[in-house]
Amino acid sequence: MIFETIARTGHEEVVFCHNPDVGLKAIIAVHNSVLGPALGGLRMWPYKSEQEAVNDVLRLSRGMTYKNAVAGLNLGGGKAVIIGDPSKDKSEALFRAFGRFVNSLNGRYITAEDVGIDVNDMEWVFRETQFVTGVHQVHGGSGDPSPFTAYGTLQGLLASLNAKFGSEEVGRHVYAVQGVGHVGLEFVKLLREHDAKVFVTDINREAVQRCVDEFGCEAVGIDEIYDVDADVFSPCALGGTINEQTLPRLKCKVICGAANNQLATDAIGEEVERRGILYAPDYAVNAGGVMNISLEIDGYNRERAMRMMRTIYHNLTRIFQIAAQDGIPTFRAADRMAEERIQTIGKLRLPHMGSNAPRFEGRMRGQ
């Protein structure tokens, strides 16, 4: 059934990686490499089944294709998942074994940090392959991408506020932030720097308490976040939280957050539009992290990264314009923008087959 599945989703390649000696069960999915080698993060999660892991990596890798296309990057979309509990199953051997599988693709897939993974884990992967981004600064990398993803999310928020309220004044509004992990916490910091009122929730109670103690946020329960009387709902945890059960409870006028795949289905996206809620397409909003790490390929420069992330504002503005002009939901406008770029560039290029591997100038391995 896997060939039928990838034919339906448009994937080019799915690699199953197994090393029983170190407990590695991983999947690498390359969705589309027309724009360049597939770049996308590595997620470690205790999936309930192998099928669930397959479904997740296929969904996430397709999202990366659209994210990288809308962001204007010369990169395709890919993703990897490791089946395991990040709180107890990590080891040097596991990540180095995964790194060898990445290296075997010869640059066709470039990995990075995602849910359940941190920069220390990437260090072990980096021991075995150069095709890693988000490595520590001591190696010439950019380090943790979370602050950059959050900064890019703020740019998307500014564009959304301007489109909905005619003003970019962040502090005038109330926010319900769902998830205060690495990215969510950084986003909360930025909101509070603008003196915005922020409600937060997370399964990690310590993270929530930190937001309360250090940043003056107000904590609410996991399920209560949907009922908060907020202007902006910001999903910053896992995907699919905007669904048939939760959407009727939202009181917001804008949905803008850092999570991937926020809409459970396309039908939900249509209903968001009908309810008059402005949805900022997730992969256009949260592209700051991938923009930042992509610069490691040619030699990282932080100033250039910050300048690049400010283009997220203009990308969102363009998406809102397309949606208004064509009378379509914003998520479809974003897809159209991505697909048009892939189609146009596809006339110039063939899929990336791993030759002419990325340069990664200024990077030092084995340090």
Looking at the annotation, which residues are catalytic? 79
By DSSP bridging, strand 109-110 and strand 42-45 are unpaired
Q: Is the CB of residue 42 less than 8 Å from the CB of residue 98?
A: yes
Q: Using N-to-C axis directions, what is the helix angle for 146-165 and 311-326, rounded to 10°? A: 40
The length of the chain is 367
Q: Which residues pair with 198 in a beta bridge?
A: 175
Copy the structure tokens of residue 292.
């930042």
For 65: left if phi > 0, alpha if psi spans -120 to 50, otherwise beta; the answer is: alpha
Copy the structure tokens of residue 100.
């060898």
Nearest to 157 by CA among 227, 82, 215, 233: 233
Question: Distance between CA 101 and CA 16 in Å, rounded?
Answer: 9
Distinct helix (H) and strand (E) counts, the chain: 13, 12
Question: Distance between CA 105 and CA 117 in Å, rounded?
Answer: 21
Helix, strand, coil shares of the chain, percent, nearest 5, are 45, 15, 40
Copy the structure tokens of residue 257.
């957050």
Q: Is the CB of residue 156 less than 8 Å from the CB of residue 313?
A: yes
**What does the DSSP 8-state code read for residue 279?**
E
